[in-house]
Amino acid sequence: MTENETRTNRVGRHLPTSGGLKKTLRLAREQGLEAVQIFVSNPQGWAVSAPRPDAETFAGGAREIGLSPLVVHAKYLINLAAPNPEHRERSARALAAELVAAGALGAGVVVVHSGSHGGDGEKVGEERLVEGIVRARELAAEDGAAEPAEPVIENSVGAGTQLCSTFDSLARVAERAGVCVCVDTAHAYVAGYDLGTPEGAREVAAELRERLGDRIALLHLNSPRNSLGSHRDGHERIGEGYVPVEAWTNFFGGLPGLPLVMETPYATPEVDAEQVRLVKELAGGLPLSPGGV
């Protein structure tokens, strides 16, 4: 196998769905994506996603292009660990609806934020989060409208009372709930994991592999806008922000086969496509290895 045939990480990004899912597929083709993430409802509101008449067209088009995985990001309002039981139940029902809507589109996973314990402590918060994930999966299975997607927990930046900013906490919740995780690189950096040098990036990848292993479903590939340990969220494009280009190659090399889904700021079509091309090159080369997953 030659040098430019060694990439095993599929490269994707979050795409808008305004204008219809056909437009989303067109953008995926134009940018050379191998995976994609979308919202299935307004992430800032509680309204449940309505069935989409273009769901089958999207699922078929995604298969034709070869997009895998298809990822949905859950509403930002969901907090399965909230102190208020009514908020927890509303969150579980909202997540269940998104699991069903995602399944109808052919998506396999729904990324959900780990949430906040609201001052009740990490242990209590983790227990609530596990219970909420189990509850959402049960509700989704009862729907019967479609084969639901699986929930995937995302690490936080660790601001205030947020849960799962450490790999240990993320692993505990994932193991107890029986689900996989999504690791956001910008969140990890501002939570204290130093990806800012090639050596540091290699060490963080090794720690991720050791602590979470097969439970990692995908990486949210974002360069941090804010400093190490600041606990402040913010995404920059790859090659910008606090992680230099040369560090990413070591990071990807330590995590072969994991899908890389960017949530970086949109720009021109040319810049967006160049970001995808850059990540492919940093991960091993433009062509995907026949063994790429």
DSSP-assigned letters across all residues of the chain: --GGG-B-S-EEEE---TT-HHHHHHHHHHHT-SEEEE-SS-TTS-PPPPPPTTHHHHHHHHHHHT--SEEEEPPTT--TT-SSHHHHHHHHHHHHHHHHHHHHTT--EEEEE--B-TTS-HHHHHHHHHHHHHHHHHHHHHH-SS-PPEEEEEP----TTBS--SHHHHHHHHHHHT-EEEEEHHHHHHTT---SSHHHHHHHHHHHHHHHGGGEEEEEE-EESS-TT-----EE-BTBTTS-HHHHHHHHHTSTT--EEE-PPP--HHHHHHHHHHHHHHTT-SSBPTT--
Distance separating alpha carbons of residues 7 and 139, to the nearest angstrom: 38
pLDDT-based confidence at residue 289 (cuts at 50, 70, 90): confident
pLDDT-based confidence at residue 291 (cuts at 50, 70, 90): low
- For residue 74, give the amino acid letter: A
Distance separating alpha carbons of residues 212 and 168, to the nearest angstrom: 8
Residue ranges per structural domain of the chain: 3-282
The whole-number average pLDDT for the span 271-284 is: 96
Q: What is the pTM of this model?
A: 0.95
- What is the signed CA dihedral for 233, 14, 52, 109, rounded to 10 degrees? -80
> Residue 259: its pLDDT value, please?
98
Residue 85 has pLDDT above 70, yes or no: yes
Backbone φ and ψ for 262, nearest 5 degrees, come out as: -80, 145
Distance separating alpha carbons of residues 109 and 68, to the nearest angstrom: 11
The whole-number average pLDDT for the span 192-200 is: 98
pLDDT, tens digit (0-9, with 9 covering 90-100), for 3-30: 445 899 999 999 999 989 999 999 999 9
pLDDT-based confidence at residue 54 (cuts at 50, 70, 90): confident
Q: Which tops the pLDDT comparison, 209 or 50? A: 209
Nearest CA-CA partner of 197 in 226, 156, 175, 228: 228
Q: The tokens 């090659």 sit on which residue?
A: 239
Q: The tokens 């067109």 sit on which residue?
A: 26
Nearest CA-CA partner of 98 in 150, 155, 174, 61: 150
> Residue 5: its pLDDT value, please?
53
> Residue 26: its pLDDT value, please?
96
| 25 exposure class (CB count in 10 Å sphere: 0-12, 13-18, 19+) | buried
Residue 100 has pLDDT above 90, yes or no: yes
Task: Tell me the C-alpha to C-alpha distance, in Å, between residue 259 and each of 68, 219, 292.
Answer: 8, 6, 9
pLDDT, tens digit (0-9, with 9 covering 90-100), for 126-150: 999 999 999 999 999 998 767 999 9
Q: How far separated are the first and last CA of the chain, in Å rounded?
A: 17
For the chain, what percent of residues have pLDDT higher than 70?
97
> Residue 3: its pLDDT value, please?
41
What interhelical angle do 269-282 and 245-253 show, nearest 10? Answer: 50
Residue 293 has pLDDT above 80, yes or no: no
> Residue 51: its pLDDT value, please?
80
Asked if 224 and 186 touch (Cβ cutoff 8 Å), the reply is yes
Q: Mean pLDDT, the chain, as a whole number?
A: 95
Residue 31 has pLDDT above 90, yes or no: yes
pLDDT-based confidence at residue 1 (cuts at 50, 70, 90): very low
The whole-number average pLDDT for the span 202-222 is: 98
For residue 70, how far is the Cα from the chain centroid? 11
pLDDT, tens digit (0-9, with 9 covering 90-100), for 238-261: 999 999 999 999 999 999 999 999
Tokens of 114: 């780990």
Give me the CATH topology for the region 3-282. TIM Barrel (3.20.20)
